[in-house]
Amino acid sequence: MVRCKQLLAAFVTLSIASRGMVNAMELNIGDAKSVRNAARTVAYNMMTYYHGNESGQIPGKLPGTWWEGGAMFMTLIQYWHWTGDTSYNEVTSQGMLWQRGKDDFFPKNDSSFLGNDDQIFWGLAAMTAAELNFPEEKSYPSWLSLAQGVFNTQVRRWDMATCGGGLRWQIFPYQAGYTMKNAISNGGLFQLAARLGRYTKNETYINWAEKIWDWSATTPLLKTSDWTIADSTGIEADCKDHGDMQWTYNYGTYLSGAAYMYNLTNGHTKWKTAIDNCLGTTFRTFFPDQFGGQIMSEVSCEPWMICDRNQDCFKGFLSSWLTFMSTIVPYTAPAIMPKIQQSAIAAARQCSGGPSGTQCGRRWHQNEWDGSASLEADMSALSIISSAMVGFRDKPHPLTHETGGTSKSNPNAGAHEDIRPQQVRDITLGDQAAAWILTLIVLVPWLSLFAWLIV
């Protein structure tokens, strides 16, 4: 376990204030109270975008997106863990439990357009709650069982019919992206399986983690020849092609799963090799030398300020997953923690805009506020600033059943629901004839009405 004095020795005390802003945020990286206060300010700003707990609104739902609700609650659970602030615990539990569906985070109101990557973030949020002993509601399913419910529904979608395995990006054939297999869906399920395996010691989860990793390594999604991670690959090319946009969360999810497997297997060579190489690529890619090599950047969109709302979330995921990695794979801490600390300082400096003087932008490397502001940018900043509290925490984390985790297991959660897309069959002549007949039935009355109106 990395202790407080070891982590803080490498850093100088530094305070940041935005020029000309009366309410500018301050962050002293060597002072736990200062870090807590900065995180509290960002958490408050982020939650001003959320209205799901208000009368007439839908708990857990953010406007225009469903998956980000799970990501936001995961971030708030981590915030509570690192800072001890319980201000958002009630709203987090309410939203998480409202969106749980049939204990698998596949609610009917949103299920028709969800992808595997959307669902996995809610599963990872529940797994985070289980590992950190986030308070549970007695009359509701445990956090662990909800994570198991997501695992059980997703492994039934493992597609052996194309590319020898893997999860498709989308669940249903009518969705754009159904013919693709992507890194965040497969990496997310790998991470969830690894974490479930470590928490429960159940061989089913452990075997699935190995299976997903090994399959990914047969595709460009996890290219072990140079340890890069492609965003996606297509089944039409038998998963040999690749989209090479580099995103922080893709690396974070595979790295995190490997860290849990390393911890579970007491440092097996397979997982050490994976960690060392993938961590090296992560550092080279997302901590650019032009920013000093210590400040995280979403390099595929940030330089041109073209990140969309999804992409503005990604740095936060890598931040938290690297931080937890440093606690369960301690030898990585000396390399990881300077980057977490310096990125936290930079993120706080960027949280200096808007009417309040504390709105967060996306370019952490930039000394002055970049003019952008969003819930997603706040979420990423909250994650990295909260993560800086790791140096002040000595208690074990994340937990397992053997080390004090209290969330109860239900290996059959979600097993009652089999949500798998049906194979699309070829269109026959009969189908075409039926379609023409149906078209005529609908079209002829409308043409007759139109002709009557003209006459």
pLDDT over threshold 80, residue 438: no
More confident residue, 92 or 430: 92
Looking at 186-200, 263-277, 435-449, which range is the least confident one?
Answer: 435-449
CA distance 53 to 61: 9
* pLDDT above 70: residue 252: yes
**Residue 365: band (very low, low, confident or very high) from pLDDT cuts 50, 70, 90:** very high
Cβ proximity of 192 and 124 under 8 Å: yes
Token look-up 């239900």 returns 410
User: For 386-402, what is each residue's pLDDT tens digit?
Assistant: 999 999 988 778 999 99
pTM: 0.88
Mean pLDDT over residues 6-30, rounded?
Answer: 49
Mean pLDDT in residue range 297-318 = 98
Q: What share of the chain is helix, strand, coil (3-state, %, to 5)?
A: 55, 5, 40
Over residues 84-95, the pLDDT tens digits come to: 999 999 999 999
In whole angstroms, give the CA distance from residue 241 to residue 263. Answer: 33
pLDDT at residue number 417: 53
Q: Which residues contact 400 (CB under 8 A, 6 or more apart)?
A: 131, 198, 199, 200, 201
What pLDDT is recorded for position 243?
A: 87
pLDDT reported for residue 4: 40
Query: pLDDT digits over 107-156, tens only?
Result: 988 878 899 999 999 999 999 999 999 999 999 999 999 999 999 999 99
**Predicted pLDDT at 445:** 52
| CA–CA distance, 241 with 249 (Å, rounded to integer) | 20
Per the prediction, the chain carries an average pLDDT of: 89
d(CA 265, CA 85): 34
Question: 232-234 and 351-353: which strand pairing?
Answer: unpaired
Q: Which range has the worst mean pLDDT, 22-31, 63-72, 91-100, 415-424?
A: 415-424
How confident is the model at residue 419, as a pLDDT?
52
Residue with tokens 């900065």: 38
Give me the mean pLDDT over the 176-182 stretch.
96
Nearest to 166 by CA among 148, 180, 152: 180
**DSSP-assigned letter for residue 115:** B
CB atoms within 10 A of CB 72: 30
Q: Which of 38-42, 268-272, 422-426, 435-439 has the lowest mean pLDDT?
A: 422-426
Domains of the chain listed by start with CATH number: 4-454 (1.50.10.20)
pLDDT of residue 413: 95
Strand residue runs (E) in 219-348:
232-234
Please state, for a pLDDT cut of 90, what percent of the chain lies above it. 81
Residue 109, pLDDT score: 81
What mean pLDDT do residues 269-273 have?
A: 98
Rounded to the nearest 5 degrees, what angle is found at the Cα of 125, between the Cα atoms of 344 and 230?
A: 70
Q: What is the per-residue pLDDT for 61?
A: 96
pLDDT for 427: 38
With vertex at residue 104, the alpha carbon angle to CA 421 and CA 206, rounded to the nearest 5 degrees, is 90
pLDDT for the residue 318? 98
Is pLDDT of 451 > 60? no
Please say if the pLDDT value at position 336 is more than 70. yes
How would DSSP label each residue in 42-95?
HHHHHHTT--TTSTTS-TT-BTTBSHHHHHHHHHHHHHHHHH---TTHHHHHHH
3-state secondary structure at position 247: coil
User: Is pLDDT of 271 > 50?
Assistant: yes
pLDDT of 261 reads: 98
Within 10 angstroms of residue 203's Cβ, the number of other Cβ atoms is 9
At 180, is the secondary structure helix, strand, or coil? strand
User: Where does 296-374 have alpha helices with state H?
Assistant: 314-328, 333-350
Q: For residues 225 and 232, is the Cβ–Cβ distance under 8 A?
A: no
pLDDT above 90 for 430: no
